[in-house]
Amino acid sequence: MTAYNRLTATFARIATLNEAASVLSWDAAAMMPDGGADARGEQMAILAGLSHELLTAPQLAEDFAQAESPNDAWHATNFALMRDAHKRATSLPQDLVEASSRANSKCETIWRTARPASDFAAVREALVEVVNLTRQSAVILGEALGTSPYDALLSGYQRGITAAELAPVFANYEKFLATALPQAEAKQRANPAPRLPPGPYPQEVQEKICRRLSEAAGLDYHHARLDRSAHPFCGGTPTDVRITNRYDENDFCAALMGVLHETGHGIYEQNLPPNFRRQPVGEAAGMAAHESQSLIIEMQTVRSDAYLTYLAPLLAAAFDKPITAAALKSRLRHVERSFIRVEADEMTYPAHVILRFRLEQALISGDLAVADLPGAWNEGFSKLLGITPPDDRRGCLQDIHWHAGLIGYFPTYTLGAMGAAQLMAAARRAITTLDASFAQGDLSPLKAWLNQNIHSHGASLGFNELLRRATGEALNPTAFEAHLTARYL
């Protein structure tokens, strides 16, 4: 074997360990009994440690020293991505990696009971440990990569994006929102719309509809499954996608949008280049790219006028209630200042992300203590949206991310929304019959376009280059603002 071939074999083993960890993580959220948490935390820590051992082994360093970058563009990019992963890993001591994994698992488990009880005090000490360990890792990585500690974390979720680049994008959106939100609210007040009939909407019926629409959107259930968890997510592997959802018998829309959002993630995973499976270049282009795929389904497609005309009679028949397209439009495209990020409309959603972006930077820099997080959260939320969360369940406890050590992740959500708007505009230019297809519940033309322009590229292109190839330009936030203006103003 050549040195490069030995590297690909090692990275395939690392990817397989990570796949096992992903399925165990899904199981912890969807199936595991409470009493299994301690053992699961140890299992996850050991897997993280084994992966780190492989990535930092002396033999790997020797292979990198001997290997030459391949001539083929895909393999050359794969080699570069492997080298970057090796550099990140060798910067971190293994005991810190394992300690972080244990702390994240412990904190996430506590959060699952602290959140519904709105008990920040219960999780505070565990979160302090997570933030401290994450800060240590960020400082070490930042020094190794020549970036700030926060940028080192951010690049782990979407390479090529920095906080300095994000700050003006978010500041400009904050200005747009200050004008657009009152206008959208005034338009809604001036044009009262019909409401959906009251529940109950049985959970079993909701779940069947969610599965049906997810499958119709293009998720292959021969290689996927749908389960329940406290927080919707997509995990697993490209050939074993695990999506989860939650259900409220008084409101089927939250479940419907949740599952279709995760379906977009799952479709991306299932359509990554199979020839480079378990190699860095065969993975998704980053979490902003991933969010663009979930949001082009959930926000751009499913909430469109055309798709809602298809969806309304299907739901009316399933629930035996007079559900109309106009009422669905009113519910799914209603702009409102609200507390819960995952339930927010697409106009106010970026405000939720902007708040988290600013707070997590302060946590990592040490400017904000974990103990002061609830107050800082409420103050920042009030400034952005003019309302204050009444409790921590609807404030700083609502998300799993920080409690699972995922700091630097949140900005990718809004980058993804902006990318989704830009991609849909390009798809509409390329396929002039998209709305006719959506009106029949047919997403296959859009999926085929995404397969060709996004999914098939894997991580061979960065986020901006991916957008440039598909749309003709790098990320342009004005496409998102134009979409919101057309839909809501």
Determine the Cα–Cα distance for residues 346 and 257; give it in Å rounded to an integer.
12
Give burial (CB, 10 Å; 0-12/13-18/19+) of 222. Answer: exposed
Task: State the Cα–Cα distance between residues 143 and 108, nearest whole angstrom.
Answer: 28
Catalytic residue among 98, 262, 269, 291: 262
- What's the first-to-final CA gap in the chain, in angstroms? 61
Contact 467, 419 (CB under 8 A): yes
Is 360 noted as a catalytic residue in this protein? no
Q: Is 49 exposed, middle or buried (0-12, 13-18, 19+ CB in 10 A)?
A: middle
**3-state per-residue secondary structure call for the chain:** CCHHHHHHHHHHHHHHHHHHHHHHHHHHHHCCCHHHHHHHHHHHHHHHHHHHHHHHCHHHHHHHHHCCCCCCHHHHHHHHHHHHHHHHHHHCCHHHHHHHHHHHHHHHHHHHHHHHHCCHHHHHHHHHHHHHHHHHHHHHHHHHHCCCHHHHHHHCCCCCCCHHHHHHHHHHHHHHHHHHHHHHHHHHHHCCCCCCCCCCCCHHHHHHHHHHHHHHHCCCHHHEEEEECCCCCEEEECCEEEEEECCECCEHHHHHHHHHHHHHHHHHHHCCCHHHCCCHHHCCCCHHHHHHHHHHHHHHHHCCHHHHHHHHHHHHHHHCCCCCHHHHHHHHCCCCCCCCHHHCCCCCHHHHHHHHHHHHHHHHHCCCCHHHHHHHHHHHHHHHHCCCCCCHHHCCCCCCCHHHCCCCCCHHHHHHHHHHHHHHHHHHHHCCCHHHHHCCCCCHHHHHHHHHHCHHHCCCCCHHHHHHHHHCCCCCCHHHHHHHHHHHC
Query: Among all residues, which ones are annotated catalytic?
Result: 262
